[in-house]
Every structure is written in C-alpha cells, then in structure tokens.
Structure 1
Amino acid sequence: MLPSFSYLGEHAGFRGTIKNSPSDFVVTELEAPELLLGDCRAELLRSSPRPGEPKRRRTEPSGPGRAGGGCAACPGTSEREAEPGLQSGLGRAPVLESLLGEPASELLGKFACDVKDAWGLENSADAGAREFSLGPRLDKKIRADLHSAVRQKFPFLLTLTKDNEMIVKGNPDYRELCQLVTEKETSDFFKFLDAKLENSTFSFEPDGNKEHRKTVHHFINRKFGKLLETKSFTTTDVNDQPNTSITVRFRGKSGSRKRCAGGFQEKQDVYTAFTLQKENLETLEAIGLLAAELDVLPSDFSYTGIKDKKAITLQPMVVKKVTPERLKELGNKMEKKGMKIHNIRPAYQHLRLGQLKGNHFDIIVRDLQHHSHDSSADLKERIAEAVESVKTKGFVNYYGPQRFGQGQIVQTDQIGLALLKEKMVKAVKLFFTPEDTDDPVNNAKRYFLQTEDAKGTLVMLPEFKVREKMLLRALNRYGVNDEGCTKGWLNIPHSLRIFYVHAYCSKIWNEAASYRLKTYGSKVVEGDLVFLEENDENISLNDKVHVVTASEESANKYSIYQVVLPMVGHSIKYPSNKVGQWYHERLSKDELELCKFRVSPLQLNIPGCYRLILKNVQNLSYFLESSEKEIKIEDNHLNDLEVSLHISFDLDPSCYATVCLREIMKCDF
C-alpha cells in the first residue's frame, strides 16, 4: 500500500488480514446531524452481533487537526459545514461560523460593528466605501450559502462576487429604510427578502400616516420593484379602530410561479435526506446506481465524504428533486445491489464535502501471526504493545490507498497529473484504461481505446456508469481530440473533475511526509512549517502556519505534532529547509515546475492547503476473540489459537483507518 514509507513507533507489530468480508470493516460517520443519521449503526450491529464488543465513547473534537479537518489551514477555503440556522419561518440558512471558521467569522463580526458605528457618525464620508473580503470562493454552491449566511446574520450588509472573490460591504438600502421604519422592521424585511420563499409575505407595523406609507411604498418599488409588490391593507383592532399596514410579497414570474387564491404556488427545489448503507460499493458507484433508478443526475446527490468500497459504510446523504415518498418507493429494490436506505425525511439543503466531524471504525483483523522475523515473543504482548504505542504516539497521516484507486492499473493520481498538464486526450485514455477482467464495463473500455467509437461504447456500458457516459456523450458530439476531451471533462461535475487532481496532490504529500521523517525524524527543525494554536481570534488560519527559526529549533519550542506539510497549490508556502527543495525537485520531475495549479479550460483552481504530518487516534479499544469459545484467551498464549482482533476507534476527517492499522501492525496491505 505505502511501500518504503515511514512508521512512527518502534514496536514490532504483527501480521493479519483485513476486509475478509465487508462486515469486518464497518465505517460510520461521526456526529452527523441526527435528522440524517439516526440509529442505523445500532441497527446494523444488532443484526450482526459481535460478542464482547467494547462500548464506544464519543469525545469532543480536540487538537489542531480539527481546525480544518484533514488540513490544518487552507488558503481561500474553510470547513464547509452547513447546519440549520434561521428558526423564524423564513427558511434555514447555513451557520456562518461553520462556513467561514471562527477566526474569519470574528473578523467579519468586527467589520459589521465598524460599519454600524460609521453609519452612526453624522459626516462619515467613508461609511459606504468600507469593504471586507471573504477571499476567493470557486464553488457556486458554497458562494450561495455564504451570501445567504452573511445576510441572514447581518442583514445590513451587502455581499458581492468579483472574479470569484466574495466582498462584503454596508447595504445603503438598509440604511435608507432604517430612516423610514424601525431597525427591527428593516432587519426582518431584509431577511424576508433574502430568504425568497415564494409563498410568503411580509407586513410592516401598522401605520396611520398615509403620506409616510406612500414614502415606504415608493422606496420598495424604486429599489425592489422588479422582485416585490406592495399593497396597503386595513384591519380593525380590538377597539374597532382601523389599522393600516403595508404588506409585501414576491411578484409572479411567467412559467415559474402561478397565482392562486392562497398566493403563489411554490416551485422550490425538494431535498430529501437519508442514510445510505452500502456494502462492497464505491460511494460514487452507489450514487450512479441510485441516480439511474430515480432518473436524476449524480450531481443531485450530496454527501460529506467518500467511503471505502470493501466495507459496510453508513453515511448521510441528501438528494435533490426527489421526494421522501418517491425514495421510499424503492423499498428493498436496492438491496440486491448492495445498498440499504434508512431514515428518509425532508431536508432543507445540500450536504457539503468536508462537513463530517470524523468517522468511527469497527474492524476485525483475522489470521493473526507474528512477523516472519519475530517468532519468539508472545503474540498477545505484541498486540498490546502495538495498540499502546499508537494510543500514545499516533500515526503518520498518509493518504490511504482508496485515495488513488487501490489495485487499479491506472490510478487516479495519474489522471490528475495529465489534467494538470492539460493533456486532455491522454487523461481521457487513462480514464478508460481497462482492468484485467472480462466484464461489460472493462470490455466497453477496451472497445473504446481500440476504436474511439464513443457512440458504440455508450451502448455497451451499464446505466450506472454515469461518469463514463457523461464523458462519452461529449466525445461523441465533439470528437476524441483536445477540444472534445476538454468538453468531455467539463461534462463531469466539478467535484469529480477536481478529485483526480487532488489525488495527485495527495500522492506528492505522502512522498513529502516520508522524506521529511526520514531526513529529520521527529525533531522540529529550522525551516519546518508548524501550525500554531493561537488564541487570538483575529489571526487567519493561513497566518497560523509559521516557519520555524533557528532559535526556536534550539529551544525545542514546537512539537512534531504541530508540523504541517503543504498540499501543493498556488497559494501555499513551502518549508525553507531540505523539504522545500525536495518539493521543487519532485514537481520538476513531473514537468510541473512552472505549473500555476489552475486548469482554466476545466475551471479547476487548486490553492493548496496544509496537512498535519502526525495524527492521533481517539477512543481506541480492542478485544481478542478465539474461534474456540471455551478457551479463555487471558489464560493462554495466542500462538496456537485461531484468534481475531476486534478493534474500534475514531479518526478525524481525511484520516484513513487502513493507515492507522498499518502503523499498529507494521504491515502494508
């Protein structure tokens, strides 16, 4: 898996096999929203009882690795978590802090206060000129969530996008309306305006002054007349006195909204949340099967991370344009394809990659043995010392084999490298390189490489191979040339296009981590990059990556657990020691020394980030089980018994259980 790569501990380890069957490797997302996850894991484990399984405890996130999931700091990016926000009937918006991160959120809050203070000054010339940048946001969905989250929390602010950079400034319309009505009414009005719920109305407080009402009508029509319509309604209060107030609603649009007696007919997107339990399937393959069955696009599904194929995995998902009733109609139909669907219910928005808090693993390691060079010690002692070592020291935070396509002839990083070099035809042919098996999918791939007949290949491919079909449709239309292959890649969702490039960046990171540990060991040296746990909330995540000085090395100021290495990209800094030089030589080897890490034809932008070299495992527990149930393992050596290791632990996002097991066992899989 990671040949010649470094180990952290000095324990001897042991041998064993994993993933003998999917039930030997159960993955459950940690701290997913309860509405999505429910009690599926408990149901699963009840259906496959494991005698003596230790109870699992959950702890709050800790350590610098939590700041940005697997990356300690990401320039221009943040953990993309969406949670219910507004509780007022105006809909739900993502929590701003989880989208921006706490430091940036605090800076935005300070800016908002400054804007309000400037408005309070009589002759503040620069009040309207103040701007605050949220940095580049390339993903349109992320930008939309941020626009909504900022305006819902600070309705007096205006958000703009300039060349993918999000800018925040004071909203002069808000300030003007504040001079006509109360600030609470103004705030509620702009929240209503931003929520854009088609079947909703907003009413100002009763106003007996006709001229004043006329001024408010004129203001709304002048500023928002294309979107809103206003009308004054008169009612009587408990004392039979007339009260007149202005009510606002959204205008109808031909073809999209229909007038009816109750107002407007809603045409909003429908979102349905569910928990996907899959077995021996890749996440994207499972989505392809579901999309084909439901007659929607794979891009209509959202999830927080990719899960192992050779495992039983449980993860929350949200699908757009499918009602809960329709999803329930699938019933047991998908079970034959290795999937079960639990906890179906309405949702309000998509999930985001990186939203998860981590994963819990329940793993069985079978066929336990000594390493060939270590036959003298008691195997039970070897297991105990290995577990204790990883509990204490952690493990090297390598990307695992599923990042690259374990066992495939062409791994995903090779495709990513071709895309970075803008060799579109080569990337397509790598994508369609078949495995050494005789099945419909690989036969179709062989046919395509031999004939370049995209139309014929489309007929041969099964329906669930959605990515392949998307690419082939463009190739059929535009040809298997540079233009056609570029159009083909653009036909695949952005998250999948960039997946291949990220795989290449991950491969380089793995090699860099191995080189760093072999060159300097566990000592923090001059030129290393460290992640600082600063309490100053005004410091951005990127500014928390610090270059170690000679005096700091001499004073042993930093721990190896604070050292990060960059994931290559255009907005990161490299270590200023031998490791930095290694990066430049390694990229030069792949002819990327001049790479801008932007693939404009494919709308790919790779800013880079920083990833901690070492990570710790949480809630690690284990027990041993013999096939001879009457034998007590505690009273016997394991050497002559058929024994399995049952091990459970929690890992942070972007950490790999197979990598943690590799460290425990000192064994490549």
Structure 2
Amino acid sequence: MKEVCVTNVPNCFISDHEGFTGTIKNYTKDFVVTEIDIHRQLVNTLVVGPQNIDKPNPDALLEKSKRNTKCKQDSTIISPDIDHSSPVDRDLKLLLGLSVYEELERFLITTQNDSDAKRDELNNQTQSLTPEMSLGSFPDKHQRMAVHRAIRHQFPSLMTVTHQFEIKVKENHDYRELSGLVTEEESEGFFRFIDAKVPGSAYTFRPDDVKDHRTAVHHFLSRRFGKLVETKSFSDPGGTAISVRLKPRKRTKDDCVEEEVYTGFTLCKENLETLEAISYMAATLGAVPSDFSYAGIKDKRAVTYQAMVVKNVPVKRLTEKAAELERRGLRVSHVRSAPEPLHLGRLAGNHFDLVVRHLRAHADGGGKRDAPGDVAAAVERAVGNVKARGFVNYYGPQRFGSGQGVQSDRVGLALLKEDMVGAVRLFFTPEDGDEPHNQAKRHFVQTENAKEALALMPVSKARERLMLRALHRYGPGADGCTRAWLSLPYGMRVFYPHAYCSRVWNEAVAHRLATLGHAPIQGDLVWQDLQEDTGESNLPQMHVVSAEEERDGVYTLAQVVLPMPGNTVTYPQNAMGLWYRERLANDGLGDGRFRISGLKLNLPGCYRPLVATPRNLTHRLLEQGEEVAGGGEEEEEERGGEEMARRRRESERAPLTLVLNFDLVSSSYATVCLREMMKCDV
C-alpha cells in the first residue's frame, strides 16, 4: 500500500480545491498502465495481421526500395532505367510537406538549368558559394536520417548537409562531374547504387568504345569512390563497358542491416522494473539486454503493458518461448515482425486505470473529518478542476528513485561532471536495511571487491549485476567505472543525466509559479503550435512573449514552456533565465556541459509545458462492498491476517473507493495528476 502523498515534488498547484486523502497501489492491479503507440492504439489491443502490421518508418521504406532496384535479369547488376520514384516520392512529400517539396523541385530545376560556364565557375569555388536551400528544422535524429536518405535516393544530383537541426540542400558536385562524362540517367543510377550499398551488387555503365573517355571515368571513380568500389572494363556484343563493383570488406555487426531480424511484441509485466524484465527475457531467449528496445520505462509496482522490439530473435522463437516467459511473470502478446528497433519517446502517451482506496477528507484543525457525502463532493470538485485546468507538469518521484538513499539525479550530476568513480560509488550507496541487494552494495563500497559483491547481488537486480561484472573485469578505477556505465543499455545509461535535468526542471517550474505567478509574462517562452500528442518538444523555434502580448493576455499558462537543460535550448528572457544560470553554476555546470563523450551521451535538451491536462478522464465512486476490478484476495493473504484486519477497519472508516481512467501524453505522470486532485504532499 502506498499513500498518495508524492515526495520529491515541489508544493505548487493549479487549482485551489480542498482535495482528499486515500491510498494507491494497495495491489499492483490497482495501478494499470497501458502504452499508447504513435498510431494512437493501445498496445494491448493491436490487431496483428496483414491488414495492420506495424507501419514501417521512412528508413524502412527506403531500404525496401533500394533492395528492389536489382535488375530482374541479373540479381547482381543494377540497371540505370529502373523506376525508383513512387514510394520514395510519396514518402519525401510526407517528410517535407507539399510546399517545401514543390520548392525543392523548383530548386532542382534551377540548378539543372545553370549554364555550363556558371556551373564550371561554381565548381571551382568553395562549397559555401554554392546555391543552397533550407528544408527546415528536424529535431528528431531518425527523421533527419530519413530526409537525407530520401533526398539522396530521389534527387542524386543534390546533396544534403546538417547544421544543428537544420537540413540544407545544395548541388552535388560529384554528380555534376560524373554527368559531364556519362549521361544524366547513368549518373542517377550510379549514385543510387552507391547509396544502396547492396553487398555483392554491381553497376554497369553503357558501352563506350572511346578508350580515353573510359579512362577518364575510371580515374574519376577511383579518385572519388576508390575506398568503396573497384572498376574494370569488359567487352560485350554492344562494345566495351565499365563495370563497378562494391569492394568486399570484413563483415561486421553493422553490415547487411537488411539481414537483421526485428520482432515486435507487447510485454505485460507486474511488479517488475523494465530492465529486470529485459534481463529475464534475454536469458530465456539467448539474447543480450541491448538487443531489446522500448519507447519508455514503466512503473515497477504496477501492471504495465508496453511495446518492445527484440533484435535477431525471430517471431517463431519468441512465440515458442512465451510459455516459459509467463512462468517468470512476463506475458508477451501481439508478436509480429517489425521494420526496426523502437526508440525512446516514440509513443503518443499512456492510458491509466487507477484505483484510489480508503477515501477521506483532509482533517480540519481539530482533527475532524467530513462525512462520506462531503468526501464525494470533494472528489467531484477535484476531478472537475483537473479535467478543466490540468495540473503542474512535474516529473514524478519515479524519475528520481523514490525511497532510495542516493537518488538518481545525484548520480546523473556526477556523470555530467564526468566523475565516473564518484557516480559508481553513489550508485552503489546502500539504503538502510539488510536486504540482500543492500548487503551486496555495502560490501562493494567497503571492499571494492566486485566479484564478491556480484555473488551477493540478487539475480533480479539486473542493473547492478551488469555493472559489477564490468567492474570485476576492468577494475574500480576511472576506466573500469566508465566501462561499467557503458555496460548498461543506452536507455538506462541516459536515465541518470536525464534525472538530474528533470530535478532542475521541477525546481524551475516551482520557482516560476511562486515568484512570477500563473499568467504568461514578458520573456516567457511559448510554443505557439504545441501539438496535443506530445509532452515535450525538441524543436528549437520558440516565441518570446512581448510586453504587449503580456498586457493583452494573448497566451495562456498552458502554452508556456520551460527548457530542460541541454546543449541546444534557449532559456527564458526574464528572471527565469538568470535563475537557470545560477542553478547550474551552483552544481558546477556553469559552462552548460551536457555531453558525456566517454559514455556516448549527448543531451540536447527540450521544452516541457508547465501544465499537462488528462484526456478522456472518467471516474466512478464505489461504496463499501462494491467490487473493483483488479483487487485480489491472493495478495491480501500474502500480507497476513494482521494486515487484513487493519485493512478491514480502514475500509469501515473510509468506505469510498475512487476508480479513475484517463490518458496522459508521454513523460507526464499519473501520480502527479493524482497529487493535484488530492492536494496531498508529504
């Protein structure tokens, strides 16, 4: 049982209703979290079949298009007259938008119509003097990759460059030089061949009986692409032609991406951490934890449904192992082929089904509590206010590790300062108590003997065991500690610096509301087109509220955002900007250091709305004796007779139970939403 008084969260609220008290997570089934995927489907209700296989992203469409460019007559030769246009053309329009796509086509025509004299002049100047066009800003790394690939594939005569998040396009000088030696069609075919990099494939130019001309083509290809290809001339009935073949190279794990197998599934876990569940699955499937990818980390003490993808485990094998996984308390469903791994943040949000038990009104000054009718009225007011006005969008205690002696944000700060040894010692600082994992931590801190600590560490503590294995192998010095952090999957590694940034954000929003009020003021940042399906925005374009807009009340508090610290964010142009600088300087981060090169981590930062609003919020009040789906006698029995008796007495005094159902955007917390309703903070 957990009292709903959320710790680690500053004491600021949006509404002024009186609230109520109650308990959550009496049973794990009282707190059910179901992920909502980017197609706005609950991941436990997906329809798996030909009609609704996961939609591939642009990268997957491009890879498929590239693989289809092989000649039907000879699978090792790519012909220059294959039609590549339609799927990528449609996809690029979606990526850029119709207006930008049409402008890009006009830019292409302009570059193609340049006179030969002007083209030669441009080729002899620096790249910076070449005409270029901006395609806009693409904050998502995978979206940028998709744009680069789509441009290369559809418009080989153009090249793309990235500055921060902005993608610019300009003429491809290599293409222009080659098209001066061969036809435009052959140039396009060759550059698509180079972009595809299909192992064992070759590209053949049309026959050319002029030896000096063939020599010039050989020299160009050797000079510009000699590390990738080898060329030779051969005779056929039509004359002498040049064949280009990819050089064979030593096979690595990054080669032949199209041969990798990705299997998607929905994981249901109960009372397990995400990494703990992944550790169990990896052991059962003969995989490693880094083979699993997911969109978000879910609560431990809850029933959670989330999408996952595992690499190089076929659908058949995962299906065959489902029964064995279920014996470990892990249920997999909706197993299907997937085009690629999942990435953190690629979800629309989460759906919550919550039960709050033992409802009572807050005690007045004399300790007296209201009657059940007054409690019901308080609940109705609270739910109505949150439904209408939302709640302060704090990061919840899960972000910091509630109940831990040393919380995650302190570990994250040590990592940001690149104090790897200090971060490891903080991570292994034991809590009070003699539980096996605390004994193992205590032993490591006292002796630095990772091997002995590993023997003491419970199998369920996957994170700790991964790090102890690395520390045993590489030692407890700076290099060993760095390798220990690198042993964690990326999503877990980046969790700690993110926890620090989240702590700063929580403090920032509390300071903003306490000192500057609940209305937008001059210098605040607003995201004018903030999408409803995202809780954070990486987009760097922000609008700064002017004095006139403050006076006219142009914006609402729901449109105000505050930055999560990072390398690319802009800070407010009012007192909050100074607050951020002083706050980071106090922690030794005055130079804005949010890259950890040793751990391959980069935190660009993002913008988070001050206010979040639950969607599709419904509630029911149940009286004593009414059944609540999700309660369980078995869990009651495990707690013992004394606990059951105490619960019975509690229920007699507080007979009302609240059932809540609502959706939140990703990175918003149900416990924080409850906190706004209940006005309960300890």
Q: TM-score range by the shorter chain?
A: 0.7 to 0.9
Cα pair distance change 1:475/1:164, threshold 3 Å:
farther
Aligned to 1:400: 396
Q: 1:616 aligns with which of 613, 617, 622?
A: 613
Aligned to 1:336: 327
Q: 2:411 aligns with which of 411, 415, 418?
A: 415
Aligned to 1:284: 275
Per chain length, whose mean CA-contact separation is higher, i.e. which structure has more relative contact order (CA < 8 Å, sep 6+)? 1
- Structure 1 residue 607, shift from structure 2 partner: 2.9
**Percentage of identical aligned residues:** 44
Q: 1:560 aligns with which of 557, 561, 570?
A: 557
Q: 2:112 aligns with which of 110, 114, 119?
A: 119
Question: Does the CA-based 8 Å contact 1:41-1:314 persist in structure 2?
Answer: no
> Aligned pair 1:348/2:307, yes or no?
no
Q: 1:649 aligns with which of 658, 662, 666?
A: 662
Q: Which amino acid in structure 1 is aligned with residue 273 of structure 2?
A: E
Unaligned runs of 5+ in 1: 43-79, 236-241, 258-263, 632-637
Deviations 1:158-216 (A, max 9, x none): 35689999875433344456567776775565445433343767788xx7887799799
- Aligned equivalents of 1:657, 1:99: Cα separation in 2: 37
- Aligned equivalents of 2:407, 2:93: Cα separation in 1: 33
- Aligned equivalents of 1:491, 1:359: Cα separation in 2: 29
Aligned to 1:666: 679
What is the DSSP-based 3-state SS (H/G/I as helix, E as strand, rest coil) of the residue aligned with 2:443?
helix
Deviations 1:359-400 (A, max 9, x none): 222222222222223626633322222222112111111111
> Aligned pair 1:382/2:378, yes or no?
yes
- Structure 1 residue 113, shift from structure 2 partner: 4.7
Alignment of 1:16-55 (within 5 A): 16-32=22-38, 37=43, 39=45
Aligned CA-pair RMSD:
4.7
Aligned to 1:598: 595
- Aligned equivalents of 2:435, 2:89: Cα separation in 1: 48
Aligned to 1:64: none
Tell me which moved more, 646-655 or 116-125: 116-125
Cα pair distance change 1:628/1:268, threshold 3 Å:
same
Question: Does the CA-based 8 Å contact 2:139-2:538 persist in structure 1?
Answer: no
What is the DSSP-based 3-state SS (H/G/I as helix, E as strand, rest coil) of the residue aligned with 1:10?
coil
What is the DSSP-based 3-state SS (H/G/I as helix, E as strand, rest coil) of the residue aligned with 1:503?
helix
Unaligned runs of 5+ in 2: 1-5, 49-55, 69-83, 532-536, 629-650
Deviations 1:96-146 (A, max 9, x none): 999999789977985675355223211244476546789999999887666
Deviations 1:492-544 (A, max 9, x none): 34443322111011011111111111122222122222223399xxxx97563
What is the DSSP-based 3-state SS (H/G/I as helix, E as strand, rest coil) of the residue aligned with 1:378?
helix
- Aligned equivalents of 1:252, 1:196: Cα separation in 2: 11
TM-score calculated relative to the size of structure 2:
0.75
Question: Does the CA-based 8 Å contact 2:616-2:661 persist in structure 1?
Answer: yes
Tell me which moved more, 93-102 or 379-388: 93-102
Cα pair distance change 1:157/1:509, threshold 3 Å:
same
Tell me which moved more, 517-526 or 580-589: 580-589
Aligned to 2:199: 198
Q: Which amino acid in structure 1 is aligned with residue 61 of structure 2?
A: G
- Aligned equivalents of 2:392, 2:215: Cα separation in 1: 66
Cα pair distance change 1:121/1:321, threshold 3 Å:
same
- Structure 1 residue 630, shift from structure 2 partner: 11
Cα pair distance change 1:409/1:111, threshold 3 Å:
farther
- Aligned equivalents of 1:109, 1:145: Cα separation in 2: 18
- Structure 1 residue 348, shift from structure 2 partner: 2.3
Cα pair distance change 1:108/1:605, threshold 3 Å:
farther
Aligned to 2:11: 5
Question: Does the CA-based 8 Å contact 1:29-1:356 persist in structure 2?
Answer: yes
Q: 1:85 aligns with which of 61, 83, 89?
A: 61
Q: 2:505 aligns with which of 486, 489, 509?
A: 509
- Structure 1 residue 445, shift from structure 2 partner: 1.4
Aligned to 1:151: 152
Question: Does the CA-based 8 Å contact 2:443-2:453 persist in structure 1?
Answer: yes
- Aligned equivalents of 1:20, 1:440: Cα separation in 2: 25
- Aligned equivalents of 2:159, 2:674: Cα separation in 1: 49
Aligned to 1:436: 432
What is the DSSP-based 3-state SS (H/G/I as helix, E as strand, rest coil) of the residue aligned with 1:419?
helix
Aligned to 1:368: 359
Q: Which amino acid in structure 2 is aligned with residue 507 of structure 1?
A: R
Question: Does the CA-based 8 Å contact 1:24-1:364 persist in structure 2?
Answer: yes
Q: Which amino acid in structure 1 is aligned with residue 422 of structure 2?
A: K
What is the DSSP-based 3-state SS (H/G/I as helix, E as strand, rest coil) of the residue aligned with 2:259?
coil
Cα pair distance change 1:20/1:287, threshold 3 Å:
same
Question: Does the CA-based 8 Å contact 2:10-2:507 persist in structure 1?
Answer: no
What is the DSSP-based 3-state SS (H/G/I as helix, E as strand, rest coil) of the residue aligned with 1:544?
coil
Question: Does the CA-based 8 Å contact 2:107-2:133 persist in structure 1?
Answer: no
Cα pair distance change 1:234/1:482, threshold 3 Å:
closer
Question: Does the CA-based 8 Å contact 2:62-2:150 persist in structure 1?
Answer: no
Question: Does the CA-based 8 Å contact 1:36-1:274 persist in structure 2?
Answer: no
Aligned to 2:173: 172
Cα pair distance change 1:170/1:639, threshold 3 Å:
farther
> Aligned pair 1:580/2:577, yes or no?
yes
What is the DSSP-based 3-state SS (H/G/I as helix, E as strand, rest coil) of the residue aligned with 1:364?
strand
- Aligned equivalents of 1:267, 1:617: Cα separation in 2: 40
- Aligned equivalents of 2:257, 2:482: Cα separation in 1: 38
Q: Matched residue pairs, number?
A: 608
- Structure 1 residue 569, shift from structure 2 partner: 2.4
